[in-house]
Amino acid sequence: MVVTGNEDGAHHVISEISGGLVEIGYTIPGQAWTYWNRGPGPGVEYSETEDGHEWSHGTARLMAHNLYAVASALAANPVLPHRE
C-alpha cells in the first residue's frame, strides 16, 4: 500500500489497512508499504520539495521486492483452505 501524506499518521493508517486485509484473508508481507518520510507534523507537500523522495523510493523498491518474494512463495506453496 502507498499512503499519501507524510509520517504524521502514516503508521496508524498502514496498521489499520493491514489489519483489515489480514482479517479477510490477505497475506501481508513485512514492509508492504511506503509513504513520504518527512518527519512528524505538517509541512510542505511532496510535490513542493525533493526532500525525502529517495527514502520513499527506497522503501517502495523494498516493498515491491517483498511482495514479489511472498507472492512467488505462495504460488509455489499455496495455503489451502482448512477442511474438516
Q: How many domains does the chain have?
A: 1
- Residue 9 lies inside a defined structural domain of this protein: yes
Residue at 6 is within a domain? yes
User: Would you give the DSSP letter of residue 3?
Assistant: E
In a domain, 34, yes or no: yes
**Which pTM does this prediction carry?**
0.75
Whether 84 is covered by a domain: the verdict is: no
| 59 domain residue, yes or no | yes
* Residue pLDDT, tens place only, 39-68: 666 677 777 888 778 888 898 999 999 999
Q: How confident is the model at residue 23 (pLDDT cuts 50, 70, 90)?
A: very high
Domain contains 32: yes
Query: In which domain, by residue range, is 70 found?
Result: 2-39+52-76
Burial (CB count within 10 angstroms: exposed 0-12, middle 13-18, buried 19+), residue 82: exposed
The secondary element (H helix, E strand) that includes residue 68 is helix 53-76
Q: Which residue has the higher pLDDT, 8 or 17?
A: 17
**C-alpha cell, 57:** 523510493
Kindly state the cell numbers that stand for 9.
499518521
